[in-house]
Amino acid sequence: MKIIIGKNMDTSYIPLVVMLAVGFSVAGIFLLLSKYMGARRSTADKKLTYESGLIPFGTARKRFSVKFYMTAMSFIIFDVEALFLYPWAVNLAHSKSVAMFWCGLIFIVILLVGYFWELKKGGFEWD
């Protein structure tokens, strides 16, 4: 049973399929060529761990304080939430909807309540 969606539906995707096939083929060919034709010189310097040009010392299994993770997660949460404010402001400028304004205002209030709660709990202090 053949489903007919549109007149040129079958042929309209041919350029996309060809472009994807060529792209994946070129990527695969380049990977194979670099694997078989590339230089393989292993030196002691290449086997060292790179840490900003400094000689590594100590162990890499050092434990970090929980404050580090709390600050990192807080940054991610507040950064992503602040990122949502830009499209809201652009849409608000075009639509001029009162409901959209109040939804955004509620979002900002919830964001500020969370920020001040974490500030009160000491989530931003490193010591």
Over the stretch 34-65, which tens digit does the pLDDT of each residue have?
988 887 788 887 777 666 666 667 776 777 77
- Residue 79, pLDDT above cutoff 70: yes
| pTM of structure | 0.46
| Sign of the CA dihedral running 86, 87, 88, 94 | positive
- Residue 5, pLDDT above cutoff 70: no
Per-domain residue ranges for the chain?
A: 9-41, 66-121
Helix (H, G, I), strand (E, B) or coil at 26: helix
Helix (H, G, I), strand (E, B) or coil at 51: strand
- CA of 40: how far to CAs of 28, 29, 31, 36, in Å? 20, 19, 15, 10
